Structure 1
């Protein structure tokens, strides 16, 4: 089916639901009267039309951008229409915000950059080879670039994202999240040499490193495209940033240092005499502040239910506190500042002392302590942290070892008990990264450990038979007759109460990269600027 045929099919489906003679002002009335399934069908078919129209608009925005360059001067398309920039013209034509118009232009320029002529079918074959679905040509010499690698000379690495956008595999929001999150591969500015006679021209290895960079980023893009249908846009963006840092740990350290240098606290008094303050956090400080506030306010924000009577009483007291969350956070921060180093953790934080927990593989820890570039993840958010911070944290607070198999499943921590132990909870947090229910973004500290085999029916409190779920989804599962099953160490499967098709519940995407479940080319990049 052609592009416009698909749009026509979606339009015909909408007509079938709301009728041919309905006026626009009557659609809300129709939507309120029709059956549940028809309401969902309205959203589905309308979204197909919106996505199709947006693809056309993005492609046209790229064409406008290419005709409105600085070199074109006052003769550029946007300039001839009385606008300083392409973004200004697109905003005027679409009635959107400047941020939305800028995104349209950014994606349009990315599409235009991929319009390098290639032989028919060439890039489809390259795409398959990047994804590992097609063999390399037999006549390719050992060690020589494959056709997928030499495609770097024809199309940019993100061309696969543009293809996915225009074929409807990705939405514009998903495309933008992956594209911006991955950024650009590190640039090799020439040979690393102290020879004063060197002319600065790229050495023989530069081309190979460029091909490797292109292949790594294109591979990551393909894999994120494959994951897009099962992930939220927010998780795709977070995973793309994490993957970029895992592929380029030296560049990750430079980016961390830039954010560290940008840290700031600013205070001012407005015209009414009210004092204000504003923080710009670096990574560790921001994570520490979030941990303090989340630890104290978790019962108000849907954190895990408490079993201990004292903990439950404190949680209920907090839930009925008349202060807003913002007021509670303010009072908490003042308490922390007042208490300082003598703060009583139980009094200030409630059930758990605040802090950050870093998840690192043995190889990352060895690189970090050895002074080599390395990247680890924060337990709750999968935010990346540089190796030197990992080494410092290991020195200050120590480490806990958890042995994993090749798919990230913890080994040798299960035991017979009604409740999961603290060490088992750590192992679950490392494996799952948070609530495993599809499209849920709750971190591990907000989750409860669920027995997929009911304990009352002989189920074991073992890591392999446990899964992290946030409080809401845990209650939804029990009250809504949902079930979670697992065959050995394969994916957990969520089975709906009506007997429908089970849905896989994969771990957070960044965790799968960290455990080696997804395999881009090895990291041999030079530091990115």
Structure 2
């Protein structure tokens, strides 16, 4: 079927919902008259239509950019219309922000690159190979959305020039990374996909990770300004490691407000209840906490400020076999990640952290498993929690984005009823809400051997079983690109 034929079919599918055949002014009333099943169905149809329209919008934006190149001068398509750039033209017509208009144009340019590459004569062997061509193809067939194309491109960045490695070889590594991100796009959020792309980029280019860390570190700053009403404002630009530390401080202190785990002592429970009932907003609590933290400094004990959970940044490094390699400056050719996988640090930072705090080795197999303790322990050990955080990346319930620090470890084989074992391959991270929801409403999670975790609905529900996939940006580590050295420093 043609593109316009697909659009017509989508519009025709909407006509089955007669409640929507009304004046625009009463559209909300018409939609409110739909049954729950009809709302779900109609929303799915509208989402499909929106994706199709976004494809055409991106393609047309790419054509605008192609016909408004610098060499066209004032005769360019955008310029003839009185616009300085194609981005300005798209922004003016659509009414979106400049940032969104820029994203649309970039996606459109990727699509035109794909089209030009497909049309090139076989004799033109020097035609440039675009690493992002699979993205354009996937967008056109509906495998990914425009937003997903944008975050994958921004997350991976451009392939670098590497001494001793052929350009085509480097581009191929990037293309493999693109294909892997496309494959996981349907099962994760846009934010998660961006984090995954960044983690892969830094893992395959540890030298580039060192340079990116240095740039962020040099940009660190703090300033205080006074507004027109005499109020003082503070503004931080964090380096990556300091940002993770400050976030861990807030997480440790405000955990009960943000749905932390329920398993705690009576004293901890009383403290958590007191914090939850505090009339201050989260922002006011954070302000008071940081002010007190700076005031007391090193004089206070950690428990006086944080309670049972001390703040800190845990780094995870996925290491190859053999001795760690170093560059000519003696820096580790490796990268480290926070245990939730959202931030990446170069080998020099990992080296310094090892000197300060030491290491806790956690051994995992190709699927992110073992660390089994059978039925010796009812609760998962700290080492197992690290393995679960690295493998799962947070609550695995579909559509949930709670990080590991707010999750509980669920035995998929119940401890009492099924004589379950406290083993990593039989455990899974769930946030407090969905952990309770699973136990109270009849949902069940199963796993065959080392395969995928499968979420089953309660008996009688028509929802099909759902395959759960890791939300950790580090999931690539258990399935690296095959067939060639994938670290560019190799």
Please give the range of the TM-score, normalised by the shorter of the 2 chains: over 0.9
Q: Kindly report which structure 2 residues correspond to 1:349-498, keeping only aligned pairs within 5 A, or say none.
A: 349-363=306-320, 366-367=324-325, 371-457=331-417, 458-497=419-458, 498=461
Structure 1 counterpart of 2:291, from 325, 330, 334: 334
> RMSD in angstroms over aligned alpha carbons?
2.4
In structure 1, the partner of 2:187 is: 230
TM-score (norm 1): 0.86
Distance change >3 Å, CA 303–CA 110, structure 1 → 2: same
In structure 2, the partner of 1:129 is: none
Paired residue secondary structure (1:38): helix
Farther-moved stretch of structure 1 (312-321 vs 210-219):
210-219
Distance change >3 Å, CA 117–CA 344, structure 1 → 2: closer
Q: Distance in 2 between matches of 1:253 and 1:415?
A: 43
Contact 1:215 1:521 survives alignment (8 Å): no
Q: Distance in 1 between matches of 2:481 and 2:489?
A: 22
In structure 1, the partner of 2:213 is: 256
Contact 1:493 1:502 survives alignment (8 Å): yes
Contact 1:382 1:433 survives alignment (8 Å): no
Paired residue secondary structure (1:272): coil
- 1:107 matched to 2:107? The reply is yes
Q: CA deviation at 1:433?
A: 2.2
Q: CA deviation at 1:340?
A: 1.3
Q: CA deviation at 1:353?
A: 0.6
Farther-moved stretch of structure 1 (171-180 vs 513-522):
513-522
Paired residue secondary structure (2:342): coil
TM-score (norm 2): 0.93
Q: Distance in 1 between matches of 2:477 and 2:117?
A: 36
Q: Kindly report which structure 2 residues correspond to 1:501-520, keeping only aligned pairs within 5 A, or say none.
A: 501-516=464-479, 518-519=481-482
Q: Distance in 2 between matches of 1:13 and 1:337?
A: 60
Q: Kindly report which structure 2 residues correspond to 1:308-319, keeping only aligned pairs within 5 A, or say none.
A: 308-319=265-276
Paired residue secondary structure (1:64): helix
In structure 1, the partner of 2:84 is: 84
- 1:170 matched to 2:133? The reply is no
Q: Kindly report which structure 2 residues correspond to 1:275-286, keeping only aligned pairs within 5 A, or say none.
A: 275-286=232-243
Distance change >3 Å, CA 25–CA 268, structure 1 → 2: same
Gaps of 5+ in 1: 123-149, 193-204
Q: Distance in 2 between matches of 1:252 and 1:324?
A: 37
Q: CA deviation at 1:56?
A: 0.9
- 1:210 matched to 2:167? The reply is yes
- 1:156 matched to 2:130? The reply is yes
In structure 1, the partner of 2:488 is: 525
In structure 2, the partner of 1:7 is: 7
Q: Kindly report which structure 2 residues correspond to 1:122-161, keeping only aligned pairs within 5 A, or say none.
A: 153-161=127-135
Q: CA deviation at 1:232?
A: 0.8
Deviations 1:59-82 (A, max 9, x none): 111111112222222222211111
